[in-house]
Structure 1
Amino acid sequence: MPARTALHVLVFFPRGGSAQVVRYLARHLPRGDDGWRARVVAGSLGAPGEPTHAAGFFGEDVELVAVPYDDAVRAPDPVMASPPMHPSYEERPGAPDRVFASLDDAAYGHHVAAWRGILGAPGVLDGVEVAHLHHLTPAHEALVRLAPGLPVVTHLHGTELAMLQRIEAGAPWAHGPAWAERMRRWAARSSRVVASSTAAVRLAEELLGMAPGSVGMVPNGVDPAIFDGARAAPGERAAVWRRWLADDPRGWTPEDRRPGAVRYDEARLAPLLDPDAVVVLFVGRFTAVKRAPLLVRAHARARACLGRPLPLVLWGGSPGEWEGEHPAHAAAASPAGHEVFFTGWRGHHELARALACADVLAVPSVAEKFGQVYLEAMAMGVPPIACDAEGPPTFIEGRADAPARAGWLVAPDDEEALAAALVAAAGDPAERALRGANGRRLVAARYTWPAIAPRVAAIYDEVAGPV
């Protein structure tokens, strides 16, 4: 029998963790007799070859319906274009993707109508037996109007929960309560709701008014064929950093937002190219919760304490996108700013190589409902430094006396503690090796997509019923 069809819907263009989840689930769902195949509907931005272009991101092996946003971002009001630019769960002044909670009823109706047209286009729903909707968005309302009896699995990725938290805390968004009510309605009528960690499950049940035990857990994972633990030799490390920072740079600043505006010469790269350097890597968007500027300041403290070079590479930052202080400004003000490097936004297919060339991952995000990049680092044998809050402590053992310790956990927004963790990680190669090996074993045992995808298929079987 041919595999059954699950429709994955992601209204966002590829730039965050949820897109990675969609891509890997689509590739690893068990097929064959009684299996499942994915059809993906997702936003797309940019030309082929750019990391935000959906076809290149998801690959030829994934059946894709791409929703182009290029015209929308150039429109006078992107969220009212046709098709409209997706909104965001974050508020960034001047961004084309305004925060959901700022959109009025007319804008909401426009998005529902647009997604009804997208999902109702010929062939999109053909043969679909279950819809897997990522995040809580107007696509929920559009789908229930198109196919009211179709089972829906709602996959929460954390950012929607962060917006709900801000609404409950009194964020000054005029339409926040209306959006919160819609999101609760969409969750309530879903056949299943899943989140990525025990912390996210509890928060989702609280914020969405759902009964305890009603939200399931599907953790994020890694592809062990990509994040294979291979380490880069010193010469290869130097070549990779030289290529990304000098030959093909993509870094940018608020003053010059062109990818590649930041380029480093050989003298500037010297601390990073030293074969004995301990390289600290940050990976992520430059959103406020990631606390990249805090890391830059903690790095200066750690550098002063160590008394030797400690190169810090910031890998990410979608072009032109940031919240609050830009980390480039923090680096310019840092006494150790000459050891801070910006690679710019690069494709996820390059992340394993970046991790292979790093010794420690440091992402002091204060609001990670899971944090896939920590798993990816652990799979590569790179111990992470993370905040002891929400998702990371559910899978990173950070206690110094724990035999299975796999990273360092610090209190959120504690610059001194973060600096101390950097010093501890940089100053003890044996401890780095121990925590790196423990993390790699944990990920291999519990957090790989080939093991997680069949659990998702079992949810489909349950909500869709027998063939």
Structure 2
Amino acid sequence: MTGAPSSCADLRIALFSGNYNYVRDGANQALNRLVGYLLRQGAAVRVYAPVVEEPAFPPTGDLVGVPSFAIPTRAEYRIPLGLFGRVKADLAAFAPNVVHVSSPDPAAHRAVSWARGHGLPVLASVHTRFETYLRYYNLAALEPVMVAMLRRFYRRCDALVAPSESMAQVLREQRMNYDIDIWSRGVDREIFHPGRRDMAWRQGLGVADDEVVIGFFSRLVMEKGLDVFSDAIDELNRRGVKHRVLVVGDGPAREWFAGRLPQALFTGFLGGGELARAVASMDVLFFPSVTETFGNVTLEAMACRLPVVVSEATGSESLVDHGRSGRMIRPGAIRQFADALQGYVENPALRAEHGAAGEARSLDFSWDRINQTVADTYLRLIRQRASRG
């Protein structure tokens, strides 16, 4: 390739991920969608990430396995190590013109060093607020240390992409980097829409048509706010507010969550149309997580015409219009969460009004337009690097 790149077809992207497809989550589904889009535009993409014998779903594009080890307390997740032997040789043979890192792990650190040594630009995508995870493992005192470590990593990159303007502002305030574009998230409207609502399916779970279902769907891990969810449901029960709880998802905290909410309905993991049917068959989403940088769960619920009750946190602030499409509550404010939920349970007209507003907002999120933003950022960084000689 000669001259400055002008289109996706000129791109050769080395993408490093700590979890590309071995456990399903919102971040890696966004990465796979991005790779699929880039490949359709003619770009060359090579993905470097840990691999396992039975991944959650097939990878999009070419995936090169990176040596890794299981996290001792969370064995389903793996930490990719540095660039060794065959991986480094494969990277050199691929000859990328831009490197994309998506998690601040050892392999990504080495990839940044490799790129800088070869005069290549590096883009980092921010998918989660890693520093907030420490709060759920009684390690909140170490949060400043984690922030400092993240700052060192992200400031070695040429630019960042964040999934929401609220998250970008947090990154600026933390002095992570000052070149930050928005790589938002989209919603598949062919899958998530109000027409998926299925009263017969609800009845099969033992839910009466006149019962109001408070729903939760996500990977079941403590950092999704399961404790806050449970406490708020307890408060509704103390008030005598009639409702049903429907939990969709699986994960290491499922047993804890089921023990905390013995009357709740647990479906286990659902995907695709089955997930959309379950979401559309809820009446309100309650998702108190503060670790999200965007809130795919919130957007998918909004697309299904559900009012949402969420924490005032990065991601949600860019999606939810408080008092119009849902309620945003101060993190951990149990009584206020319960107040918001009670309002929706007892007022069907309010549920309908806020659900319709949320669905209208969800129409703004087109995957192709969103992913082109990342491609444009790659091209800009390559041109800027070339102009500096």
Task: Please give the TM-score of this superposition, normalised by the length of structure 1.
Answer: 0.70
Provide the rounded CA distance (Å) in 2 between the counterparts of 1:172 and 1:161: 9
Matched, 1:200 2:167: yes
- Cα offset for 1:374? 0.3
Counterpart pick for 1:215 among 180, 184, 188 = 180
Q: 1:95 to 1:463 in 2, by over 3 A?
A: same
Provide the rounded CA distance (Å) in 2 between the counterparts of 1:184 and 1:406: 34
Aligned to 2:329: 410
- Cα offset for 1:134? 0.7
Q: Is the 8 A contact 1:85 1:97 kept in 2?
A: no
- Cα offset for 1:129? 2.4
Q: Is the 8 A contact 2:68 2:78 kept in 1?
A: no
Q: Is the 8 A contact 1:305 1:423 kept in 2?
A: no
Provide the rounded CA distance (Å) in 2 between the counterparts of 1:164 and 1:303: 30
Matched, 1:40 2:7: no
Cα deviation digits, residues 171-228 of structure 1 (max 9, x gap) = 359xx94x76553333222121121222322222333453xx4322222222233324
Matched, 1:7 2:10: no
Q: 1:146 to 1:390 in 2, by over 3 A?
A: closer
Matched, 1:295 2:262: no
Counterpart residue type for residue 31 of structure 2 = V
Q: Which runs of 5+ in 1 are unaligned?
A: 69-82, 88-92, 101-109, 243-268, 332-336, 400-404
Aligned to 1:255: none
- Cα offset for 1:156? 0.9
Q: 1:23 to 1:150 in 2, by over 3 A?
A: same
- Cα offset for 1:441? 1.4
Provide the rounded CA distance (Å) in 1 between the counterparts of 2:356 and 2:300: 13
Matched, 1:326 2:256: yes
Aligned to 1:315: 248
Aligned to 1:232: 197
The residue matched to 2:191 in structure 1 has which SS? Answer: coil
The residue matched to 1:171 in structure 2 has which SS? Answer: helix
Q: Which runs of 5+ in 2 are unaligned?
A: 1-6
Aligned residues: 373
Aligned to 2:211: 277
- Cα offset for 1:297? 3.3
Q: Is the 8 A contact 2:222 2:253 kept in 1?
A: no
Counterpart pick for 2:353 among 430, 434, 440 = 434
| 1:62-73 equivalent positions in 2, closer than 5 A | 62-65=60-63, 67=65
Counterpart pick for 1:84 among 68, 74, 94 = 68
Counterpart residue type for residue 295 of structure 1 = F
The residue matched to 1:326 in structure 2 has which SS? Answer: helix
Q: Is the 8 A contact 1:133 1:140 kept in 2?
A: yes
Q: Once superposed, which parts of structure 1, at least 4 consecutive aligned residues long, lie more than 6 Å away?
A: 97-100, 164-167
| 1:384-463 equivalent positions in 2, closer than 5 A | 384-399=308-323, 405-445=324-364, 447-463=365-381
The residue matched to 1:122 in structure 2 has which SS? Answer: helix
Provide the rounded CA distance (Å) in 2 between the counterparts of 1:22 and 1:136: 15
- Cα offset for 1:2? 8.3
Matched, 1:139 2:115: no
- Cα offset for 1:18? 1.1
Provide the rounded CA distance (Å) in 2 between the counterparts of 1:352 and 1:29: 26
Provide the rounded CA distance (Å) in 1 between the counterparts of 2:361 and 2:377: 24
- Cα offset for 1:302? 2.5
Counterpart residue type for residue 137 of structure 1 = D
Q: 1:432 to 1:28 in 2, by over 3 A?
A: farther
**Structure having greater relative contact order (Cα 8 Å, sep ≥ 6):** 2
Counterpart residue type for residue 290 of structure 1 = K
Q: 1:228 to 1:37 in 2, by over 3 A?
A: farther
Provide the rounded CA distance (Å) in 1 between the counterparts of 2:230 and 2:377: 42
Counterpart residue type for residue 313 of structure 1 = L
